[in-house]
Structure 1
Amino acid sequence: MPPRVIHTAQALVDAVMEVPSLPRGGGNVMASSYRRYAGGAVTILLAAARSGAQAVHAGAIGTGPNGDLVRASLAADGVEAAAPPVEGSDTGVCIVLVEPSAERSFVTTQGAEREITVASLATSAPVAGDFVCVSGYSLVGRTRDPLMEWLGTLDDGVQVVLDPGAAFAEVPPAVRDALLARTTVWTGNAEESEALAGLRGLQEAAQVVAGILRPDAVTVVRDGPRGCLVRADGRVDVLPGHPQRPVDTNGAGDTHTGVLLAERAAGLSWVDAAVRANAAAALKVTRRGPDTAPTRAEVDAFLAG
């Protein structure tokens, strides 16, 4: 059985509004569009599933309109929601303001998605070879302690994939170091990687990050439309991206991660998997909404073109 892609992080509802600009303090702007999507961890899982992986959400999902939307979005692409619903509490919302440049800003509430336990995470039952994804945003707030305790119970053969996010800089050093010691795949953007490394420069930051991780770990650093860097199997590859005119960058990094892991689970090398992930992220930014990751056939057509 091929490895599964399991995500432990928060599945939220993204309330996306396109705005001409961010309002000044005390000001107001009129949005040109509004739509609700399932987002957060859902984006990575949908991207992985559309590239052929068996995907599982191990996090908590509430009961209510938001939780219903999350479950429906996962089910539509065959993604399993392993944990039982959180009764009496609904899933939170992330308000996403998208500017004409495709830059986005976020305001996030907290709800049932933070109500994880060691037992609820264990319903995903990872086995050796599976990819267990961890978000830096899970390491702040009440999800941190049960997540870290559960990670300590995993078989050594389970691959822990860390997507640090901006929140990783706020993590207490003892927690950060414990997670880094268990991480087998780092997949962060250039800014996140430079923050951990303490210096600027894509290759320099990747080298420092790789030195912090265990010797057999893989380091992937995304650099937006410029592509990504992959340190794996004793070599470094800088893989070009596919610059596009973006309409919405929300979910591009998550799409990259989901496709990267799905293709690796399918047996591709890390470099070949990253080539396809670069293409998938390029397609994603031309589409509105975080749930618009391409299928494997669409990635094939894009690369062939």
Structure 2
Amino acid sequence: MNISKTLIQKIRGLQTSKKVLVMGSAVIDVILQLDKLPVTGQDIMAEHKKTIVGGCAYNVTNILKQLNFKHDLIVPVGRGANADLIRKQLKDDNHDIVLEEDTQDNGWNLSIVEKGGERTFITIPGLELNWKSAWAEQIDLSPYDFICLSGYELEGSSGQVVLKTLESKAESCRIVLDPGPRVGYIGQEVWDKMFGRGTILHVNQGELNQLTGEQDVMNGARKAFQMTNQPVIVTLGKDCTLYYTAEGSEVLRVKK
């Protein structure tokens, strides 16, 4: 069975027939470039590349837009200098602002890019990691076939709020979860509930190891699939991705 060909056909069908909700965070990304990360106590120079609106959810919508998927974005927007920049960008991108809260500013992220391309992140959290129970009443999940989440929204007290919000999704709606570097900070109760809700996992090799305890990628993907009974996507560096389903598995390579 040609899994990659089948996957492409499915994606083409989804573009016209399905709708995606991306729910999560928008923050300010400050991107620095340097040769190598400093050691403790060292004083070095870096180049400021740019300051832009980013965040897991916002970045996902940019990809969906390029792929011509029907989608909506829900991110909390606060009050402050960061929130003002985010609000302007969302309006420029024609995104509705569903969640507004004047008690806190949005956070920001320092992205440090080394000469070899390796990235290190320092996150200064804001409103986007303090989800409020009252927000659930402002979110209608019924029109959506897929809901995209990251791990940042599922850790701490926000995790319980997001889980409660997800109770109103349609039975057929599937969750696409990219836990990212927060995979080890999400409580087991949250994981158990996510696994039982039709969750498609997207992880890298390190995150897969943390989640399953398996060093071997294929064994880890198999174990993750057994947890969710949904496709598992494992990014293997910049050149390829493992796609694991009930029908089989295939390493999909980037065309250059």
SS state at 1:94 partner: strand
Tell me the distance in 2 between the aligned counterparts of 1:124 and 1:136.
Answer: 19
Instruction: Indicate yes or no: 2:61 matched with 1:48.
Output: no
Instruction: Indicate yes or no: 2:173 matched with 1:158.
Output: yes
User: Per the alignment, do residues 53 and 17 of structure 1 end up closer, same or farther by CA in structure 2, a change over 3 Å counting?
Assistant: same
SS state at 1:10 partner: coil
CA shift for structure 1 position 128: 5.7
Match of 1:231 in 2: 244
Tell me the distance in 2 between the aligned counterparts of 1:65 and 1:233.
Answer: 47
Aligned residues of 2:212 and 2:224 also touching (Cα < 8 A): yes
SS state at 2:128 partner: helix
Tell me the distance in 2 between the aligned counterparts of 1:225 and 1:242.
Answer: 11
Aligned residues of 1:219 and 1:232 also touching (Cα < 8 A): yes
Match of 2:233 in 1: 220
Instruction: Indicate yes or no: 2:26 matched with 1:11.
Output: yes
Where do 1:258-273 residues align within 5 Å? none
CA shift for structure 1 position 129: 4.8
CA shift for structure 1 position 152: 2.4
User: Per the alignment, do residues 67 and 231 of structure 1 end up closer, same or farther by CA in structure 2, a change over 3 Å counting?
Assistant: same
How does the TM-score come out when normalised to structure 1? 0.72
Aligned residues of 1:56 and 1:82 also touching (Cα < 8 A): no
Tell me the distance in 1 between the aligned counterparts of 2:20 and 2:87.
Answer: 17
Aligned residues of 2:144 and 2:170 also touching (Cα < 8 A): no
Match of 2:142 in 1: 127
Where do 1:198-217 residues align within 5 Å? 198-213=213-228, 215=229, 217=230
1:59 corresponds, among 64, 71, 75, to 75
Q: Which structure 2 residue ranges, 5 or more long, are not aligned?
A: 1-15
Where do 1:1-305 residues align within 5 Å? 2-40=17-55, 41-83=57-99, 85-127=100-142, 129-213=144-228, 215=229, 217-232=230-245, 234-242=247-255
Identical aligned pairs, as a percentage? 24
Name the aligned partner's letter for residue 146 of structure 1: V
Q: Which structure 1 residue ranges, 5 or more long, are not aligned?
A: 244-305
Name the aligned partner's letter for residue 78 of structure 2: G
How does the TM-score come out when normalised to structure 2? 0.84
User: Per the alignment, do residues 55 and 66 of structure 1 end up closer, same or farther by CA in structure 2, a change over 3 Å counting?
Assistant: farther
CA shift for structure 1 position 122: 4.8
Tell me the distance in 2 between the aligned counterparts of 1:193 and 1:93.
Answer: 26
Aligned residues of 1:49 and 1:78 also touching (Cα < 8 A): no
User: Per the alignment, do residues 76 and 202 of structure 1 end up closer, same or farther by CA in structure 2, a change over 3 Å counting?
Assistant: farther
Aligned residues of 1:62 and 1:91 also touching (Cα < 8 A): yes
User: Per the alignment, do residues 168 and 96 of structure 1 end up closer, same or farther by CA in structure 2, a change over 3 Å counting?
Assistant: same
Match of 2:6 in 1: none
- Offset from partner CA, 1:110-155 (integer Å, 9 cap, x none): 2121232244245342226521112112222332221111122322
Farther-moved stretch of structure 1 (95-104 vs 3-12) = 3-12
SS state at 1:236 partner: strand
Tell me the distance in 1 between the aligned counterparts of 2:208 and 2:189.
Answer: 18
Name the aligned partner's letter for residue 23 of structure 2: T
Match of 1:290 in 2: none
Aligned residues of 2:19 and 2:143 also touching (Cα < 8 A): no
